[in-house]
Amino acid sequence: MGDKQENLVCAHCGYTADGKFAGDICPGCGLTYWKCGNCGFLVTAAEPPEACPQCKEKCDFLNVTCYTPECGGPGNIDHRL
pTM of the complete model: 0.62
Query: How many Å is the Cα radius of gyration of the chain?
Result: 14
pLDDT for the residue 13 = 75
Contact 74, 66 (CB under 8 A): yes
pLDDT for the residue 1 = 43
pLDDT for the residue 80 = 78
Beta bridge partners of 17: 8
Distance linking the first and last C-alpha atoms of the chain: 31
The C-alpha angle with vertex 80 and arms to 78 and 81, in degrees rounded to 5, equals 80
pLDDT for the residue 75 = 65
pLDDT digits (tens, 9 = 90+) for 23-80: 667 777 777 888 999 999 988 888 889 999 999 999 999 888 777 778 776 667 777 7
SS3 breakdown of the chain: % helix, strand, coil, rounded to 5?
5, 25, 70
